[in-house]
Amino acid sequence: MRVTTFVLVSLTMPHKKYLELIRKEFPDHKWKDFKYLTHGWDHNVIILDNEWVFRFPKNKEYLKKLQKEIELLKYLNKQITLPIPNYTLIAKDKSFAGYKIIKGKEFKPWIYKNKVALKNKKKIINQLVEFFNELHSIPLDKIKKYDVKFYDSKKETAKIFKDVKKYVFPKLNKRERQISEKYFKDCAALETKSVKNTFIHIDIHYSNVLIKHDDSELAGVIDFSDRVIGDPATDFAHLWNYGPKFIKSVYKKYRGPKDPEFLYRSKLYSKWDAFGIMIESFKPMYKCTFKEGHKMFRKLFF
């Protein structure tokens, strides 16, 4: 039986090692310039000549996920209109992989609010609606073979609260702890039994949604690392950053499964990140600070 040795690159490994791996695996692939990105939660990234993106998993969990993601995206590219990654340069052991870059910039809320023309705002809303309609209508039996797991939002929230009490509460004042307890109580009270679960991206954060450099329309959606089967309202969570009018406009045209508490749940989900960052700041593998998470917490709850 052949034993495959996977290349796992640590957080401390210099960018030269990544470049050596790419050269060794793809000797005919030439480049002049590169960018080395380490701010991602799950992968370190090398961008070559602003044309190719190579992703290197930070741990064994995301190594396995990348291998399935490569296969999944081949299927999704036939189902989704908006550009998404399509891996074509894949290491023999699938320990890292590259795709042709989707030209664009992060769809930060201030860009939408201050730079996008009114006619283009309508176009962007329609693009997001189409993306969600297509993504959330994909038959679940088609994507389970790509190791897409079920995500129980109530169960995951309970796990987060346990860590919040352990790591975060000692650094919060009395009022902040009371607000946090109320928030997690509201999450626990959510009625999700009747929610129709769909295939979801789960991380529609502005860093994973790209807009064209001229701000005319969306360029694509990236990073399907955390894809799951779950509450479609989760995919709307980060849309609150663009304002209530924006998310309500998307929801109005959305043809996926709706229910009376859909937007309410998405609003609750939108506050998870603050607690997540505060928790992860205590773990050495993530480059985030408690101060970052606490600042977000104060902005969301006060």
Contacts of 255 (CB under 8 A, 6+ apart): 129, 133, 137
How many alpha carbons fall within 13 Å on the CB side of residue 123? 13
Please identify every stretch of the chain with a pLDDT value under 50, giving residue numbers as ranges: 1-12
Residue 3 lies inside a defined structural domain of this protein: no
CATH of the domain at 124: 3.90.1200.10
CATH of the domain at 86: 3.30.200.20
Of 82, 100, 118, the residue at which a domain comes to its end is 100
Question: Strand pairing of 97-100 and 87-90?
Answer: antiparallel
**Are 193 and 230 found together in one domain?**
yes
Give the pLDDT of residue 6: 40
Give the pLDDT of residue 117: 97
Query: How many domains, in total, are found in the chain?
Result: 2
Strand, coil or helix: 96: coil
Q: Is the dihedral of CA 63, 67, 68, 74 positive or negative?
A: positive
Q: Is the dihedral of CA 210, 212, 218, 222 positive or negative?
A: negative
**Are 80 and 154 found together in one domain?**
no
Question: What tokens appear for 172 in the block?
Answer: 């919060």
Give the pLDDT of residue 285: 67
Task: Give alpha helix (H) positions in the chain.
Answer: 15-25, 60-76, 109-114, 118-136, 140-143, 153-163, 174-188, 244-253, 262-269, 272-280, 290-301
Whose CA is closest to 269, among 202, 208, 169? Answer: 202
**Are 282 and 160 found together in one domain?**
yes
Side chain identity at residue 188, one-letter code: A
Side chain identity at residue 279, one-letter code: I
Residue 56 lies inside a defined structural domain of this protein: yes
**Are 260 and 144 found together in one domain?**
yes
Phi/psi of residue 257, each to 5°? -65, 125
**Are 36 and 115 found together in one domain?**
no
Tens of pLDDT along 139-169? 999 998 898 999 998 889 999 999 999 999 9
**Are 179 and 291 found together in one domain?**
yes
Tens of pLDDT along 211-252? 999 999 999 999 998 999 999 999 999 999 999 999 999 999
31: how many CB neighbours lie within 10 A of its CB?
15
Residue 1 lies inside a defined structural domain of this protein: no
Domain of residue 290 covers 105-301
> Is residue 297 a contact partner of residue 176, using CB atoms and an 8 Å limit?
yes
Whose CA is closest to 269, among 167, 192, 170? Answer: 192
- Cα(111)–Cα(106) distance, integer angstroms: 9
CA angle 132, 135, 139 (to 5 degrees): 140
Give the pLDDT of residue 218: 98
Give the pLDDT of residue 12: 46
Contacts of 155 (CB under 8 A, 6+ apart): none
**Are 71 and 207 found together in one domain?**
no
> Is residue 268 a contact partner of residue 183, using CB atoms and an 8 Å limit?
yes
Taking the model in full, what pTM does it have? 0.90
